[in-house]
Amino acid sequence: MLSTFRPFAAALLATLALLLPAPAPADETPVVPALPREPVPQAPAGLILDQAHVLLPEIAARLSAKLADARAHDVHVYVATVSSLRVPASKQLERLEELAKDYSNTWNKHTIGAVILFDDESGMITLELSKPTSERFTTFAVEDVLRIPLGEAQKSGLARDKIQRFGEITAVALSKLQEDYLKETHRARIGNFIMGGIALLGIGLTIFSAVAKSNGPSVAAPSHPINHQPPVDF
């Protein structure tokens, strides 16, 4: 009897073991829930949102004027600061870039421009181009006008100076790209118009020539019959 029960008990214990949840590994890192995305504030009318109160009034005024000049080229560059990202140091850069992208997607959803975001706690700054900007200009073209000047601005000592230079450099560079793009587009349209006119003229001449050949030279028939008289002998 005992020998018959042992195989049955072993099978029952094996089945119960499959039904019980498996214990978590001792060295498994607990999953940290992602921080909820903060609502993006309304786009600032003066193009600067200094939430960390980093910029001096005179610096903010000069920067705002430079950003406003870019509007003449339909370029929208915003500068924003935050006091803290409220994440561990290892996550600050990632969070800063995410927040800059949120600002850009909201403020520059359909416009050429960029958002410059500075975190006062870490001292980090990032630049996020709008989606229309990335679609219009190649990465090479943007890097060609921004990489070296922004690299030099990154070395600025004071945060307020760095923010000002980032804003001014970006506004001027994107305005130049936009101006060149519009000039090239205008030249292309004029060229297409001229080529279209030449093509239409050629088609018109071809049609005129074909009609002229189909009609051919015509000789008018005499209105009265001609009487042919025999020659006179002398």
- The tens digit of pLDDT for each residue in 159-183 reads 999 999 999 999 999 999 999 999 9
Q: What span, in angstroms and rounded, lies between the C-alpha atoms of 126 and 115?
A: 8
Specify the pLDDT at position 34: 54
Weakly modelled stretches of the chain, pLDDT under 70? 1-37, 186, 188-191, 193, 195-197, 201, 216-234
> Which tokens belong to 122?
């870490």
Distance set, CA 12 to CA 5, 8, 229 (Å): 11, 6, 139
> Which tokens belong to 4?
């018959």
Domains (ranges, CATH) in the chain? 48-182 (3.10.310.50)
- Predicted TM-score of the model (pTM): 0.68
Specify the pLDDT at position 75: 98
**Whether the Cβ atoms of residue 118 and residue 52 lie closer than 8 Å to each other:** yes
- The tens digit of pLDDT for each residue in 74-109 reads 999 999 999 999 999 999 999 999 999 999 999 999
Specify the pLDDT at position 13: 38
67 alpha carbon, distance to own chain's centre: 19
Specify the pLDDT at position 145: 95
**Whether the Cβ atoms of residue 118 and residue 80 lie closer than 8 Å to each other:** yes
Q: What span, in angstroms and rounded, lies between the C-alpha atoms of 148 and 152?
A: 6
